[in-house]
Chain A
Amino acid sequence: MSAEACHEPSPKPAPPTHPTPRRLVVLVGNPNVGKTTLFNRLTGQNARVGNYPGITVERRSGELALGDDGVAEVVDVPGAYSLAARSPEEQLAINSTLGIAGFERPDLVVAVVDAGQLIRNLYLVLQLAELRVPLLVVLNMIDEAGEARPDPAAVSELFSAPTVATNARSGEGIEALRAEIARRLSETGEARVDLPYPPDLRSALDRVADALPAGWRKNVERDRALALWALSSIDPDDELDSIPPALRERCLDVQRDLSGRDLDLEVIGARYAFLDAHADRIFGRATRHPPKHAGSARLDRVLLHPLFGFVAFVGIMLVMFMALFSWAEPGIASIEAAFRALGELAKARLPEGVARDFLTDGVIGGVGNVVVFLPQILLLFLFIGLLEDSGYMARVAYLMDRIMRALGLHGRAFVPMLSGFACAVPAILATRTMERRRDRLLTMLVVPLMTCSARLPVYSLIIGALFPDRALLGFLPLGAVLMVGMYVFSMVMTLVAAAIIGRTVVPGRQVPLILELPPYRVPLLRGVLRMMVERSWVFLKEAGTVILACTIVLWALLAFPRAEAAAVPPTATATATAAAAAPSEAASKAAALEKSYGGRLGKSLEPALEPLGFDWKIGIGLIGAFAAREVFVSTLGVVYGVGAADDDTSPLRQRIKTEIRADGKPTYSALTGLSLMVFFALACQCMSTLAVVRRESRSWRWPAFLFAYMTALAYAASLLVYQGGRLLGFG
């Protein structure tokens, strides 16, 4: 336990913690060392998932039972190869292990290392020991070390830190670790190691240490180590925040004075030299570096093969895509049916009125709008969990890097982009697999352009109603060609948008790729399921509330002011073919919709929509479609008084074909249809997408930008299609 209290000058709010002083344990380690599995083992079923303040990085914490000694809070810090940082994300490692820059100071740092990758993993441990943190080392995956089994006692002696060997997957050594954590928390003592840096470097470090804020300082060794961290991390083009200006300035000064010296090589070289020099003691006579994991090497020979590798890749991605696209469908359909039934039940039981409509159309409908995403989100996170845990996700980035880089995107953006064909909402949630904020933002801003499944009902309505059922070249059905054309169009637009936005709005230097290809491992289903549930819950809680609120606003827009049902005469345009059940009811609904705020908005938009070939009725449809694109179909059904039937759109199709304007010309032509499809392909007609972007970017700025640019793009493209088509003599 640290001897002194932590006085922070920083104005940043501390991460959420318990009000009572409780002991804090942080888990750190390289990526792919089984840290999360260990965390799950230690904390059982009670993890809380939140975010670190200011950045979208998941902060998982849980309670660790310590037997007679009560409980401690455990935080799972994102994986890092080193404490040195150049982005706020990487800075988490140092901030949470030292408790600086607004973070709570931990009572114990547990460094999890992969026993089979020991020397490289000990690099991080060495940095922690240089910083004199209260440290406990866990040699995890001890089973994988095989003949190269390291000696915990030697590691313990090297860093003056207790060391425990575990296998988190099987549970071996977990109880011993728990006991050791309890013991270590009850006493004081810090890890230590001293490397013989040259004297002039030491005096340079002391100069930097003088510029450390008071709250960051502790004792001379720790100050020097922290100064070394600052010197290694800070440079004129880092992206760090929460670095005091005085410290930054001093670092740059000292770096200027030391120019000509290769500081990074000196420091990193000295650390590896130290570790290599002690390797004999740690390993005894065992082999130090096993050749590439034999099983993984064999698998990679197939999975990274120029031909079979791509076949396997396409196969795996196809299964994932089919799952999102088709397997989720029964779940989605039954959720929709359940909420419809619930709404009808409430309608039947409650007295007619605003309160009833609010409850059924606003609240129940809104909750349904949120829950309906769950099948796809759960499935996508199941796949992402399996891909990550098995080690294949890194291979996806490896295989796709060449292509994705050309688009200015990260190799890992492939899975979110592919998911975007099913639905942008889970796709945007999937951007979390990327580390850099810039990569995540860019992916989020272009994924909504992919042809998601909600656009399909709109396309098929338009194609079915407005394009003749004939074949091109004698064998290609026109409808299918148009559908494929819309997919190709959306892909091209996505790539163009990625290229432009990546260079202008979220510019960022191409960061060199350094990708670890971890050995293949059988995923632990329990861990994967746990992550699925946690992330879905976060979606329900945070994005769900926004979606619910938007649904209610939209409902109010289309339901007020309320028309007196009896006083409204059937509209003249209501045809006899319309409405299977109750023609007069359908007509009065149409009239009510026309008089609503949304209807008036649609009408007032007409001058703006006219150049695209749309009338005010389509305008109302566009407003309704904001709830979800497919709602366009049912809103249009209500507008035309043919009922909001979701299952059978033939009356609506018929109606669209026969609808005429005031001047007697048909409202819809093939050109209007094309213009409308282009509009739907590009416009951000989806409040759920905006809600999720807001959640993932932690700001309203990005959803606002997304909506603005996509709407502008859609408008311009539809204008071009419609006016261009007319000039060419179509429509």
Chain B
Amino acid sequence: MSSNLAAAERGQVVTVERVGGERAFRRRLMELGLVPGTRVELVGVAPLGDPIELLVRGACLSIRRAEAERVAVVAVEAARESQPNSTRLEPELEARSAM
């Protein structure tokens, strides 16, 4: 089921499909490892309802709801305490090793 990151529930694990938004933000978010295919867990929401806290590749990142709405995700599974290894990227992005 396709959705966006802001709509995820606390504890839910989703897979990133596409990162949208302003260029600098989008680039930085992807550089922090939120590339398509990566699993993300919504760890929590700040007491005032915004921003939200994400677990990405073992690191906790926080972004605002307005920006999280621009991140398209698909649900993986319901809330879980621990998270399995991250998924691999799509084959067309798979790189060969150094020459």
Give A contacts to B, CB under 8 Å: 81-82, 84, 86, 116-117, 119-120, 123, 158-160, 192-196, 232, 235, 238, 264-265, 268-270, 272-274, 276-278, 287-292, 296-297, 300, 304-307, 309-310, 394, 398-399, 401-403, 405, 511-518
Residues of B within 8 A of A194 (CB): 98-99
Asked if residues A81 and B31 are in contact (CB atoms below 8 Å), the reply is yes
Q: Tell me the minimal C-beta distance from A158 to chain B in angstroms.
A: 7
The one of B46, B55, B60, B88 in contact with A399, judged by C-beta atoms closer than 8 angstroms, is B46
Given the contacts A81-B31, A123-B33, A272-B33, A402 and B61 also touching, CB distance less than 8 Å: no
Give B contacts to A, CB under 8 Å: 19, 21-33, 35-36, 38, 43-44, 46-51, 53, 55-64, 66-67, 81-83, 85-86, 88-89, 93-99
Asked if residues A82 and B89 are in contact (CB atoms below 8 Å), the reply is no
Given the contacts A270-B93, A403-B48, A117 and B59 also touching, CB distance less than 8 Å: yes
The one of A264, A265, A290 in contact with B58, judged by C-beta atoms closer than 8 angstroms, is A290
Secondary structure dominating the interface of B = loop
The one of A160, A269, A290, A304 in contact with B53, judged by C-beta atoms closer than 8 angstroms, is A304
| Interface contacts beyond A273-B89, A402-B50, A511-B24: sample of 11 additional A-B pairs, CB < 8 Å, sorted by A | A84-B28, A120-B32, A264-B26, A288-B86, A304-B53, A401-B62, A402-B49, A405-B64, A512-B66, A513-B63, A513-B67
Residues of A within 8 A of B50 (CB): 401-402
The one of B47, B85, B93 in contact with A304, judged by C-beta atoms closer than 8 angstroms, is B47
Given the contacts A264-B23, A512-B22, A289 and B35 also touching, CB distance less than 8 Å: no
Q: Tell me the minimal C-beta distance from A127 to chain B in angstroms.
A: 9
With A and B bound together, what is the CA distance between A270 and B97 in angstroms?
12
Q: Tell me the minimal C-beta distance from A651 to chain B in angstroms.
A: 51
With A and B bound together, what is the CA distance between A477 and B97 in angstroms?
77
Asked if residues B94 and A277 are in contact (CB atoms below 8 Å), the reply is yes
Asked if residues B31 and A123 are in contact (CB atoms below 8 Å), the reply is yes
With A and B bound together, what is the CA distance between A512 and B69 in angstroms?
12
Q: Tell me the minimal C-beta distance from B32 to chain A in angstroms.
A: 6
Asked if residues A84 and B82 are in contact (CB atoms below 8 Å), the reply is no
Asked if residues B63 and A269 are in contact (CB atoms below 8 Å), the reply is no
With A and B bound together, what is the CA distance between A290 and B37 in angstroms?
18
Residues of B within 8 A of A300 (CB): 44
The one of A158, A160, A515 in contact with B61, judged by C-beta atoms closer than 8 angstroms, is A515
Residues of B within 8 A of A309 (CB): 47
- The 8 listed contacts between A and B (C-beta, < 8 Å) are A117-B58, A117-B59, A265-B30, A272-B38, A273-B93, A289-B57, A513-B67, A516-B32
The one of A158, A268, A305, A310 in contact with B35, judged by C-beta atoms closer than 8 angstroms, is A268
With A and B bound together, what is the CA distance between A597 and B18 in angstroms?
69
Q: Tell me the minimal C-beta distance from B58 to chain A in angstroms.
A: 4
With A and B bound together, what is the CA distance between A270 and B27 in angstroms?
13
Residues of B within 8 A of A276 (CB): 86, 88-89
Q: Tell me the minimal C-beta distance from A168 to chain B in angstroms.
A: 19
Asked if residues A272 and B43 are in contact (CB atoms below 8 Å), the reply is no
Q: Tell me the minimal C-beta distance from B67 to chain A in angstroms.
A: 5
Asked if residues A291 and B83 are in contact (CB atoms below 8 Å), the reply is yes
The one of A196, A238, A516 in contact with B59, judged by C-beta atoms closer than 8 angstroms, is A516
With A and B bound together, what is the CA distance between A528 and B52 in angstroms?
30
With A and B bound together, what is the CA distance between A117 and B57 in angstroms?
8
The one of A290, A292, A514 in contact with B25, judged by C-beta atoms closer than 8 angstroms, is A514
With A and B bound together, what is the CA distance between A307 and B48 in angstroms?
10
With A and B bound together, what is the CA distance between A68 and B56 in angstroms?
45
With A and B bound together, what is the CA distance between A288 and B97 in angstroms?
19
With A and B bound together, what is the CA distance between A195 and B49 in angstroms?
41
A516 and chain B: residue at smallest CB distance? B61
Asked if residues A116 and B58 are in contact (CB atoms below 8 Å), the reply is yes
Residues of A within 8 A of B83 (CB): 289, 291
